[in-house]
Amino acid sequence: MPDPIYSVIIPAYNAAATLPRTLQALAGQTLPASTFEVIVVDDGSQDETAALAAAAGVQVVRQANAGPAAARNQGAALARGAILLFTDSDCAPQPDWLAQMTAPFADAEVVGVKGAYRSRQTAAMARFVQQEYEDRYDRMARFPQIDFIDTYSAAYRRQVFLDNGGFDAIFATASVEDQEFSFRLAQKGYKMIFAPDARVEHLHNETLRAYARRKFYIGYYKALLAQWLPERLLGDTHTPPVLKMQLLLLALSLGLLAPALLWTWARPLPLLGLIAFYLSALPFLAKIGRRAPAILLPALLYLPLRALALGAGFAAGWVTFRGQGERAETRVFTLRQRLAKRGLDLLVAGLGLLLLWPFLLLIALAIRLDSPGPAIFKQQRVGENGRLFTIYKFRSMVAGADKMLDKVIDVQGLAEPVYKIKNDPRRTRLGHWLRRWSLDELPQLFNVLKGEMSLVGPRPEEAWLVERYTPAQRRRLAVKPGLTGPMQINGRGDLSLEERLAAELDYIRAYSFWQDVRILLHTLPAVVRGRGAY
């Protein structure tokens, strides 16, 4: 029998009550049964989970109880399909789920796909949970690529999954292990997208107690995740930013209760904080009013319960995991370092443009007089976490030079994702001088002001080169690209890819604000020396 194209992996723990429904739904997929396999990983169940799975004719793998992250990894290691799909043992995929989840992989750049929940439950609590997810789906649909994939409806290219280590088994319960893996991939610039029509039917929490408990543990493990990837506290493509504001507003309201009991003037303050809390929730409440008006009043209770449970869980997790969770392979900048770096970028780039604008205009005029074409060259480059942006440079080559690259080098025959062209025939007379003194880079001060680049960081590359990166090379995409950086002060084009990558990864691992200052101070002498200026 030929190997299946797809492998569906289901971790299951004491799932005898729900797993048959999941397997029955997978048996009814629109794709031919010969194209996919189903692997159930029994995570130390004490009921009939394994027996029911075996009776359904799917592959069953048993392991001692270690949690869903370890179970999914076990299934992935045994899978034969080129695409791994994950769902949970309490989910029933719709008949076209496999087709909808796998269609985006026709794009060779896509490595991960996220689907969605649906629910037919009538309980108010469950309907509220579904509206929470719908609100997040509305947000995700606005992004061309995402950084957040939940494993209730997830798919990855198997080789990418394995090359990047799979899920972290430190998450011993169902919590944020799926978020952590997708954040890790996003940090390396892999392309992941949202497929809203790839839905699985789920049984959401129907009681306040179960809902609050789930939110508490999400917040608890989010605290560990925040220590590994502190930049995610600033946002992701899944979590509405207003949710973080609501956590703070509710904490503020509760914190003001003590002053309100002591001083008369402070009595209105907790109420004002609560009013601000509900005002921040108005857009979400308006959606509920349109989509599920029957739960609008219960939602007024569920909202503060959600904030309280998440906030309490995060606080408890922060105390528990403080100083225990740092990982060199994912940690980049602390929030304090990120703010300081951004402040330096704004200050230096703003002053630079203010002082240099007459000189920039003269260069632009000289370029127009020297050769036909625009003064500014624009090109798509890959930035932080793989996000594409338009880079600005003074044009140093003939117009349309980027379309002539295959006439200068053998693009398909490159041994590694980098190239150097000495005495490039596409370069203009003025371009030789601009490149020698790095003046062609000055318009990138606008990219720095826009937040697409930093003053210091790895140099941004073209997308077709980044597509050829190994997982280790993609680590350089974890930070914003720089106008200057370790490559520029250590030899520029004379460095091999290995030397360049080592310098950039050392910069990321040992980052400090003063390291940025040092690199900036060494940039001008490096430009004057001209080593590696092609």
295 with 189, same domain: the answer is no
Cα–Cα separations (whole angstroms), residue 430 to 366, 368, 395, 399, 534: 8, 10, 9, 13, 13
Q: Cβ(477)–Cβ(187) under 8 Å?
A: yes
The secondary structure element, H or E, covering residue 516 is helix 513-529
Question: Are 252 and 375 within one domain?
Answer: no
pLDDT for 129-157, tens place per residue?
999 999 999 999 999 999 999 999 999 99
**Kind plus residue range of the DSSP H or E element containing 113:** strand 110-118
Q: What is the CATH number of the domain that holds 31?
A: 3.90.550.10
- Which pLDDT score is estimated for 237? 92
Domain range holding 287? 207-327
Q: Which of 327, 359, 377 is the last residue of a domain?
A: 327
Q: Checking phi first, is residue 470 left (phi over 0); if not, alpha (psi -120 to 50) or beta? A: beta
Question: Are residues 281 and 310 located together in one domain of the fold?
Answer: yes
Whether residue 137 is found in the same domain as residue 33: yes
Q: What does the pLDDT look like over 100-111, one tens digit per residue?
A: 999 999 999 999
Could you give the number of structural domains in the chain? Answer: 3
pLDDT digits (tens, 9 = 90+) for 365-394: 999 999 999 999 999 999 998 889 999 999
What does the alpha-carbon distance between residue 104 and residue 144 come to, in Å, rounded to a whole number? 12
C-alpha 295/C-alpha 224 separation (Å) is 33
**Which residues make beta-bridge pairs with 308?**
none
Residue range 262-292, pLDDT digits in tens: 888 888 998 999 999 999 999 999 999 999 9
534: in domain: no
Residues 427 and 492 in one domain: yes
What's the pLDDT score for residue 1? 54
171 and 26 assigned to the same domain: yes
pLDDT, tens digit, for every residue of 345-370?
999 999 999 999 999 999 999 999 99
Q: What is the pLDDT of residues 293-303, one digit of tens each?
A: 999 999 999 99
Provide the H-helix boundaries in 41-157. Answer: 49-55, 68-78, 97-102, 124-140
Q: Are 69 and 168 in contact (CB under 8 A)?
A: yes
Shared domain for 173 and 217, answered yes or no, is no
Nearest to 443 by CA among 453, 432, 456, 429: 453
488-515: average pLDDT: 87
Q: CA 348, CA 448: separation in Å to the nearest integer? A: 9
